[in-house]
Amino acid sequence: MLTCKQFLQELNDYLDPNVDAVTKVHLQAHVSECPNCFVIVDTTKHTLQVYKGIEPQAIPDDVKTRLWNALERKMAARGRE
Amino acid sequence: MTPTPISALGFDEPSLVERAQSGDSAAFTTLVEQYQRKIFRLAMNITQNTEDAEDVLQETFLKAYQHLDGFQRNSKFYTWIVRIAVNEALMKLRKRRGDKFVSLDEPLETGEEEVKREVAVWEGNPEDRYSQEEIRKILDEAVESLKPDFRTVFALRDIEELSTEETAEALGISVPAVKSRLLRARLALREKLTRQFKRKGEDVFAYL
């Protein structure tokens, strides 16, 4: 069986939904037997979920205004070309 | 013939890009509206500086507009502007850090050394215990603590959801380098968030 260190090197593969079945079974064998790695897998999944779940913050109004002003200038310049 | 309003078409990226390339400014504006928040978030995640992120945001869309004719429609417009944004953000980082900045092309120590890991389950969903603002602050601080090489790869793969190959291409590094940096970033963030979100009384540590 894999050691914890070897398993953690392969953690990305374990979390990848497209990983091949043989690799998945091989890695699953370690997780099923190792409570520490089970918790690491679980909390890593939570970590990724919480990052994916957060909406992008609104851009500050002044930043947005400057962006649009710069774009308008660029578009106007192109229109004159 | 009256042109069909963009709002009535929904968000159809290929058609908007085609129209923008033919000189339709309104179509380009819709593309900017769609992606500006994501580009600003990416720029913040890489530069960790609001002023730099604003410059990156502006430069990205100005360059995209300027070079729109050169965009090949066989790739995604979003991936294309992400590449522009990443280049701009890395330039900002290099400028701010001077010669001390480690190039993304240089090999990194990727061996997983013996580290003390926190092995504790989380107290339910953070969303149930913290406001969005509190969670955002915790997540931002955790990302900020990573080295630029790691947080850039993490932002592209796990936040902006680019593929490993797209991330490698955007950064000009190899696929194995993306994979190893992503692993280090994920484990480091897991560690930090677990300290924050763990169930009280579960101070179990383990050497793995």
Note down the domain range covering B126. 116-207
Interface probe, candidates A19, A43, A65, chain B, greatest B C-beta count within 10 A: A43
Boundary (domain end) residue, out of B34, B69, B98? B98
Amino acid at A38: F
B67 is a domain residue: yes
8 A C-beta contact, residue B131 and residue B46: no
What CATH number is attached to the domain comprising B42? 1.10.1740.10
Same domain, B201 and B121: yes
Cβ-based interface (< 8 Å): residues of A facing B: 4-5, 8-9, 11-12, 36-37, 39-40, 42-44, 46-48, 50-60, 63-64, 66-67, 70-71, 74-75, 78-79
B58–A64 CB contact, under 8 Å: no
Q: How many structural domains does chain A have? A: 1
Q: How many structural domains does chain B have? A: 2
B103 is a domain residue: no
User: Whole-angstrom Cα distance, residue B83 to residue B71?
Assistant: 12
Amino acid at B40: F
Same domain, B93 and B125: no
Note the pLDDT of residue B25: 92
DSSP B164: H
Contacts 24+ apart (CB under 8 A), A64-71: A64/B36, A66/B54, A66/B58, A67/B32, A67/B36, A67/B54, A67/B57, A67/B58, A67/B61, A70/B58, A70/B62, A71/B29, A71/B32, A71/B61, A71/B62, A71/B65
Chain B residues in contact with A79 (beta carbon < 8 A): 25
Note the pLDDT of residue B203: 53
User: Whole-angstrom Cα distance, residue B163 to residue A16?
Assistant: 11
Same domain, B84 and B132: no
8 A C-beta contact, residue B94 and residue B101: yes
Residues of chain A with pLDDT under 50: none
Boundary (domain end) residue, out of B67, B98, B129? B98
Q: Which helix (H) or strand (E) holds B74?
A: none
Tell me which residue has tokens 């979100």. B197
Distances (CA, A) of B30 to A74, B16, B33, B68: 16, 8, 5, 14
Note the pLDDT of residue A15: 94
Question: According to DSSP H, which parts of chain A are helical?
Answer: 4-9, 11-15, 21-33, 35-53, 61-80
Count Cβ atoms below 10 Å from residue B182 Cβ, excluding itself. 20
Same domain, B32 and B71: yes
Residues of chain B with pLDDT under 50: 1-2, 4-8, 99-115, 206-208
B13 is a domain residue: yes
Same domain, B83 and B120: no
Amino acid at B34: Q
Note the pLDDT of residue B123: 85
DSSP B62: H
User: Whole-angstrom Cα distance, residue A33 to residue A81?
Assistant: 69
Note the pLDDT of residue B97: 75
Interface of B with A in 83-112 (CB under 8 A): 112
ipTM of predicted assembly, 2 dp:
0.90
B104 is a domain residue: no
Note the pLDDT of residue B10: 66
Is B65 within 8 Å of chain A by CB? yes
Chain A and chain B share a number of CB contacts under 8 A equal to 108
User: Whole-angstrom Cα distance, residue B57 to residue B147?
Assistant: 22
Note down the domain range covering A57. 4-80
B158–A51 CB contact, under 8 Å: yes
Note the pLDDT of residue B18: 94
- Beta partners for residue B150, in sequence order: none
B106 is a domain residue: no
Closest residue in chain B to residue A44, using alpha carbons only: B190
Is B34 within 8 Å of chain A by CB? no
What CATH number is attached to the domain comprising B170? 1.10.10.10
Question: According to DSSP H, which parts of chain B are helical?
Answer: 6-9, 13-21, 25-47, 50-66, 77-97, 126-129, 132-144, 148-154, 164-171, 175-197
pLDDT in tens, B175-208: 999 999 999 999 999 999 999 998 876 555 544 4
Nearest to B135 among A4, A50, A52 (CB): A50
B65–A78 CB contact, under 8 Å: yes
Same domain, B144 and B65: no
B86 is a domain residue: yes
Same domain, B126 and B199: yes
Count Cβ atoms below 10 Å from residue B70 Cβ, excluding itself. 8
